Amino acid sequence: MSAPTLDQDTAPPAAGAAHSHARGRRLDPWAIALLAAVVSGAWASRPSLWFDEGATISASARRTLPELWNLLGHIDAVHGLYYLLMHGWFAIFPPTEFWSRVPSSLAIGAAAGGVVVFAKQFSGRSTALCAGAVFAILPRVTWAGIEARSSALSVTAAVWLTVLLVTAVRRNKPWVWLLYALGLMLSILISINLGLLVPVYAALLPLLAPAQSRKAPTIWWAVASLAAVGAMTPFVRFAHGQVWQVGWISGLNRNLFLDVVHRQYFDHSVPFAILSGVVVVAAAVLRLTGAPGPGEGTRPLLLAGVAWVVVPTAVVLIYSATVEPIYYPRYLILTAPGRRSSWPSASSASPASPGS
């Protein structure tokens, strides 16, 4: 047997460093996902189950599938898929506080990892990691991660559907658009509020495709979205027939501003909201005093985040003001990834290339 040569034993230092850097980038979403799942689930066993979580236990753990189907014909159709998934979960794990909430903690982990993947499509590695980490500790998100309800699953679907949209626009292949249409249908089945992402995506298209090649993906997006929404319209109409369940929601009131800018994202955590505001104001002041702003690659992330927050919120507020009151801060958790994606990019002071 011949002895290995020096060239066989050692790789060039630069190549080794590049390989290590690439491996680190691939592990970024997994690291943030683990962080988010641990942060959300660390104290999952401590708070007692509250009323809505009791509804999950009653529907998913104490009913047979025929009984669950009959229940959804009268109430909670919007939670039907979540109840079905939890029915399978409770066939394996007991309906205790901890085990009832573990799926939500895992879902928040998946959502946080998706935020990193989404942010990397527009910005550098540090901005993407910051977006994922801040999302993981956002009070509205950690609340969803410790609650046996469908909120965590819905925000996960929102994140990964948006990642799928970015992929579909940039690859512009029929099979990817088919996956997008199926993903949109599944997302609406998880939460009908996720239909609000369709107008968000209309605003994102100019950010994702250059003007000279925008026509084809726009047509594909319109066809896929219309097909998916059309297919899910009967379900949405049926679920809307149970809107009386949220008849307790009052109309828009004088606390609306606080609801939108504070409770929608920070729940009742005033210190977190103040800290977030201070950081954003400080970044704005630095920018006005001449500090370098976000790089060209980061601006699309900022604009995408703003659209993700503003469009669904505006639609729900207008509907609540003109048709029937349905706005409630925690129901718009689907906008949380946009809030956290735009915050790091707004605070960034140095340009960064996507994926770096």
What is the tally of structural domains in the chain?
A: 1
**This prediction's pTM:** 0.89
| pLDDT, tens only, 93-129 | 999 999 999 999 999 999 999 999 999 998 889 889 9
16 in any annotated domain: no
pLDDT category at 12 given cuts 50, 70, 90 is low
- Check residue 40 and give left, alpha or beta (phi > 0: left; psi -120 to 50: alpha): alpha
| pLDDT, tens only, 183-218 | 999 999 999 999 999 999 999 999 998 878 899 999
Please tell me the distance from the alpha carbon of residue 141 to that of residue 121, in angstroms, as a whole number: 22
20 in any annotated domain: no
Q: Give the structural domain span for 203.
A: 25-347
17 in any annotated domain: no
Please say if the pLDDT value at position 159 is more than 80.
yes
Q: What is the pLDDT of residue 346?
A: 54
11 in any annotated domain: no
